[in-house]
Amino acid sequence: MRKKIAAGNWKMNTSLQDGQQLASEVINMAKDEVKGEVQIVLIPPFPFLGAVKALVGTASNIALGAQNCHEEASGAYTGEVSIDMINSIGATHIVIGHSERREYFGEDHELLAKKTRATLDAGLTPIFCCGEKLDVREAGDHFKLVAEQVAKSLFDLSAEDIKKVVIAYEPVWAIGTGVTASASQAQEMHAFIRKEIANQYNDETANSISILYGGSVKPGNAAELFSCLDVDGGLVGGASLKSRDFVDIAKSF
């Protein structure tokens, strides 16, 4: 059985106080409302990881994630955050290769392969993002591009290691735009990604990897998306900043 995951990427939003309030509300509501088998991942900005961890405590179905990491273990990289630092706070997930990192910070396949490898080496779970921009989809090249993103950053991993990766398919044209991929567009791409993994590794490996959809996931569309055979949850941006909306999404499995 693949893990069902609702991950909330706060991006560069909230103050410490707003973040604490948001996390507290999510934790309290989720306790009563969200099925135990659904894994919630709260992904606040780096400076608030410790404070959010303190609120999460030992709640077994709520994990903490970071939005990025540096690929090196330590050293003279002013302003960067290492995986060991993230680990030492008690975070268990790291988002790797979000389209905003690819676009604004020039992160490429090779760098993302290193970050993924280093995250796994530390025993943490990478949430590896892939997805095409609108012009690529309009040109009909979206399958080719996503296959390349996945292959170039993940296919050097062993079967045992790639099973520990969570993949998030996030079409860039759907992120923060209010335009969601239709359930059939999401399912089609998720099935394609799983098939690529099956071809490279085997069915058993492909079938054990959770593939999340991201891009304008909202309470109103989450249930339809999550009901797709190959959609195992969501990576939620904007709607994760509203506790009621995010918990409603986490209830949509």
Binding positions for ligand PGA, rule: CB under 6 A = 9, 170, 175-176, 214-217, 235-239
For ligand PGA, the closer CB: 7 or 49: 7
Q: For this structure, is 98 an active site residue?
A: yes
For ligand PGA, the closer CB: 239 or 247: 239
Q: For this structure, is 142 an active site residue?
A: no
Sorted by sequence, the CB contacts under 8 Å of residue 195 that are 6+ apart come out as 206
- Catalytic: which of 70, 98, 142, 190? 98
For ligand PGA, the closer CB: 95 or 201: 95
Provide, rounded to whole angstroms, the least separation between the CB of residue 76 and ligand PGA: 31
Contact 50, 16 (CB under 8 A): no
Q: Which two tokens stand for residue 82?
A: 């290492």
The structure tokens 């179905």 sit at 61
For ligand PGA, the closer CB: 201 or 231: 231
Q: Which two tokens stand for residue 54?
A: 């303190």
Provide, rounded to whole angstroms, the least separation between the CB of residue 202 and ligand PGA: 29
- Catalytic: which of 107, 132, 170, 196? 170
Q: CA 209, CA 207: separation in Å to the nearest integer? A: 6
For the chain, the 3-state helix, strand and coil shares in percent, each to the nearest 5, are 50, 15, 35
Give me the residue whose beta carbon is nearest to ligand PGA.
237
Nearest C-alpha neighbor of 209 from the set 164, 171, 143, 169 = 164
| Active centre residues (catalytic) | 98, 170
